[in-house]
Amino acid sequence: MNIFEAVKAAVPVRQAAEHYGLKVSRNGMACCPFHNDRHPSLKLNEEYFFCFGCGAKGDVIDFAAQMFDLSSYEAAQRLAADFGISTQPGQTVVVPPQTQATSHPAVSGG
């Protein structure tokens, strides 16, 4: 399993989006970070995202890459670091235990 496979298997797109500050509604919609979105246009699933406003789409690695202007490999590395995924060759991928995430206090926006 390479770093891309490990990250995609361990990190749902929706969880990554929330980790990076998007407020995702119960039905998986969020305001798109890739265009000036005032009404949630971004649909987030386990495996991919799609924006009805600007057409941005991809998997969790594409999401981080576009969000932070990284290459795919850099994005995978960042996700692995942020979610505690072991990417050493030959090692078993360690998936962090699901944290019992209750409702976070609202992130104060600009």
Residues that bind Zn ion (CB under 5 A): 32, 34-35, 51, 53-54, 56
Q: Which is nearer to Zn ion, 34 or 48 (CB)?
A: 34
Q: Which residue is nearest to Zn ion (CB)?
A: 32
> Minimal distance in Å, beta carbon 105 to Zn ion?
26
> Minimal distance in Å, beta carbon 16 to Zn ion?
16
Q: Which is nearer to Zn ion, 6 or 51 (CB)?
A: 51
The residues that bridge with 58 in the sheet, in sequence order, are 49
Q: Which is nearer to Zn ion, 28 or 53 (CB)?
A: 53
